[in-house]
Amino acid sequence: MYADGRVSRPRRTPSYRTDYGAQWSESKYGRVCPRCRQNAPLIYRGMNAFCTACGAPRMPLASSSLNLAGQPSKVGGTVARVFGWIVLLGGLLLGFGTLAACGALVGFASAAPYLFGIPITLVSVLAGYFLLKSGKEMSDAGAQTAKATQLQALFALANARGGVLTPLDVARAHNLSLENADNLLTTLAKENPDHVAVDIDDNGNLLYRFVDAFRARVDVVPNTRVASSADVNAPVEESELLDDERSSKWRRRGG
């Protein structure tokens, strides 16, 4: 509390988000870059980690990695599908081979070839099917994780660059070729025209404007409510006016 009767308020730490990709926008303390204040993934260059928004050095494993996002799921999915094909083809060969061998020994008129060959074939088909299905699901999950991390890095970079990006900015910040960076931004603009707009400057360069880049939210002290910047600023200004009025009344009464 100040000498004139005004009450001190906790300091608010801003963190930026967009309505698009809200999963990454909720700032988690400890994952925000201390330099640019963005909840941006890391990019590894050799053994060193850097912020994908401002390029500042970061502690390894402090946040998700742009280089490795979705890779474990993709590798696991590939292994599961390869093993699924091996089980499927190997089981079919074993089942039909057992059926043929038993038929040659005891004749196909007896039940023995079918009692051994058909169960082996069915088990291998079912096991191979589920392995192939789970492998595809894991690969899809890895691709979605990689895409979400890439979007997180792009929006964080847009916040750090004033809401406007060029393919050269993305290529340098995310270790991409200029062509891949241009294709990434073009695809993002086509899929989300309400969030990314394309402009051309006076020199003919393409500019990608992230419309929602500065729709900021303010995270108050941890474990408190999160509100929009407009909702927070207005009550603060009104409360300051009320405090001034109360302090002036208190001084008049004291006088």
Q: What is the pLDDT of residue 229?
A: 40
Strands 42-45 and 48-51 turn out to be antiparallel
Mean pLDDT over 182-205 rounds to 86
- The reply to whether 209 falls in a domain is no
Pairing of strands 48-51, 57-58: antiparallel
Q: What is the mean pLDDT of residues 181-199?
A: 87
Alpha helix positions (H), the chain: 22-25, 71-106, 112-160, 167-174, 178-191, 229-254
Residue 121 lies in a domain: yes
Q: How confident is the model at residue 26 (pLDDT cuts 50, 70, 90)?
A: very low
Indicate the pLDDT class of residue 235, thresholds 50, 70 and 90: very low
Q: Which element (helix H / strand E) includes 214?
A: none
Residue 125 phi, psi (nearest 5): -65, -45
pLDDT digits (tens, 9 = 90+) for 140-153: 999 999 988 988 89
Q: What is the pLDDT of residue 220?
A: 30
CA distance 247 to 253: 10
> Is residue 102, in this structure, part of any structural domain at all?
yes
Tell me what the mean pLDDT of segment 19-34 comes to: 50
Structural domain of 108: 71-143
Burial label for 134, CB within 10 Å (0-12, 13-18, 19+), is: middle
Which conformational region is residue 55 in: left (phi greater than 0), alpha (psi within -120 to 50 degrees), or beta? Answer: left
Check residue 87 and give its pLDDT.
93
For 221, the token pair is 């002290």
How much is the pLDDT for 107?
Answer: 81
Predicted local distance difference test score (pLDDT) of residue 79: 94
Q: Is 32 exposed, middle or buried (0-12, 13-18, 19+ CB in 10 A)?
A: buried
Q: What percent of the chain has pLDDT over 70?
A: 71
Query: For residues 238 and 241, what is the distance between their CA atoms, to the nearest angstrom?
Result: 5
* 103 domain residue, yes or no: yes
Q: Cβ atoms within 10 A of the Cβ of 149, count? A: 22
Residue 79 lies in a domain: yes
Do residues 59 and 33 lie in contact, with contact meaning Cβ atoms separated by under 8 Å? no
CA of 4: how far to CAs of 11, 238, 243, 251, 255, in Å? 20, 17, 9, 8, 13
Give the pLDDT band of residue 223 (cuts 50, 70, 90).
very low
The pTM for the full model equals 0.61
21, 56, 20: which is closest to 37 by C-alpha? 56
The count of structural domains within the chain is 1
Tokens matching residue 39: 């909840």
Answer yes or no: is 81 within a domain.
yes
Q: Residue 244: CB partners within 8 Å, gap ≥ 6?
A: 6
pLDDT digits (tens, 9 = 90+) for 108-121: 778 888 888 888 88
Q: Are 40 and 16 in contact (CB under 8 A)?
A: no
**How does strand 196-200 pair with strand 57-58?**
unpaired
Backbone angles phi, psi at 192, to 5 degrees: -135, 70
Beta bridge partners of 148: none
Q: How far is CA 48 from CA 39, 56, 67, 239, in A?
A: 18, 11, 12, 47
Asked if residue 202 belongs to a domain, the reply is no
